[in-house]
Structure 1
Amino acid sequence: MQLRLLTYNIHKAIGGVDRRYRPERIIEVVAYYNPDVICLQEVDEGVKRSQFHQQAEMLADAWGYAHRCYQRNVTVKDGHYGNAIISRWPLTDPVDVDLTIPLKKRRQALVARCHPRHEGHERTLGVASLHLGLAGFERKRQLRRLLSCEALSHFSPRTPLLLAGDYNDVYGELGRAVMRPAGFARAGGAPRTFPAAAPLRSLDKVFYRGEIAPLHTFTGRTKLARQASDHLPLIADFELTGMADG
């Protein structure tokens, strides 16, 4: 069974160059790649700059996906923004994992169970949508906290886990320093996702563990994708390789 995951820092659906709020661009960019599971970061809820839209609900409805969960991360004066997971398959047991480091901006990860179905068979995989901090020491501490959290400890070593999002990992240190020792590998090489108009940095990543194999990882580099946000979407195709569950 194959699945496609797309992770995308949508920048509240505000263009990285023109600074205009155009959610229809995000809708079209994501729909073009037809993902099964979508991990979003910087999703607005009830904020004036994004017309007070409930973006997670609005986007999921536009894509026709019945399953979604949203995590309030940063509170602003008229609302909040955070991470979301949207899926064509059922999502259960969503958990907010606090990654905030003292004296730093509030950061969280959203973890959920996803239940793909294929030819009458159901599988379970863990999915996390995360947005790490800007300082190197902060990112390492946040990631170690996530890897040791109770929500992830409930998954068996064989159960597929996908940790996707904006890692802000400018120098590519997290894979070697944190993820590899924990048994995770990175899907794909180092596709550049930021800034969207002329990408120079590989900030967005997908790490995986368990009975799942990467097939292909690439960035969405359409003309519209270069305009819709300040990040490009990252798309990763996988094959579920075993029968693990739990």
Structure 2
Amino acid sequence: MPRLMLSDEFWSKLEKILLQEAIYNQRNLRMTVEGMLYRMRVGCPWRDLPEAFGSWNSIYKRFNAWSLSSKWLRIFKALSIDPDCEWEFIDGSYVKAHQHSAGAADKEPQAIGKSRAGNTTKIHLVVDSYGLPADFEITGGEVNDCSTAPDLIAKLPDAKAIVADKGYDSECIRGQLTKKGARAVIPRKRNSLKGNADMDWGLYGYRHLVENAFARLKQYRAVATRYDKLKRNFESMVAMACGYLWLPM
């Protein structure tokens, strides 16, 4: 029997949300979800799922259908319904795109781009004051942090301060945060004329919370390396991992 990820307590909490999302409560629903989580954890091809979870093809089809209707994203949002957003921390992290993720038979861009590491995808993540995921965006690896930040920040709950590294040093971002009533705790670049006299270095020291969140998410192999051809499927993998971090809360 493969190692499972859902205790009875976790399943009781997750099952209520699944049913609220109009997911049919079939007899093997728990093992179907366990199969999806197993694939997230070990990063194996779908057809290599252990038989204990049921038919691999049925599990993949359900995962693909749930991704198409953004169910895993909504499940993540339902689990993270009460983040502590006094402080918010934002950062981006590269994910190597495996060769099996290339060649999707779809005309839409699938968020795989060229960067120094070759074919990569980028996860832009925001965590709350406890280091738990509050929201994220998936882009190609070539996309600059400053390009994605405005749209991501616009979706966030109001916060007293938003903390980021100097990759987010932009007057546009600083102005957006001021309009939201948040303090920008972002160090200015070396060539800045304004300097960092107004920086709260004590609060900036807690920026490790977002780095820690990436470390926890990348314990799951299907998040640390992208195997999914479709952006929406990889996005669902990240949403599953983020939601799993919220289950003990």
Q: Same fold (TM over 0.5)?
A: no
Choose between structure 1 and 2: higher strand proportion: 1
- Rg larger in structure: 2
Give 1 or 2: higher helix fraction. Answer: 2
**TM, length-normalised to structure 2:** 0.28
TM-score, normalised relative to structure 1: 0.28
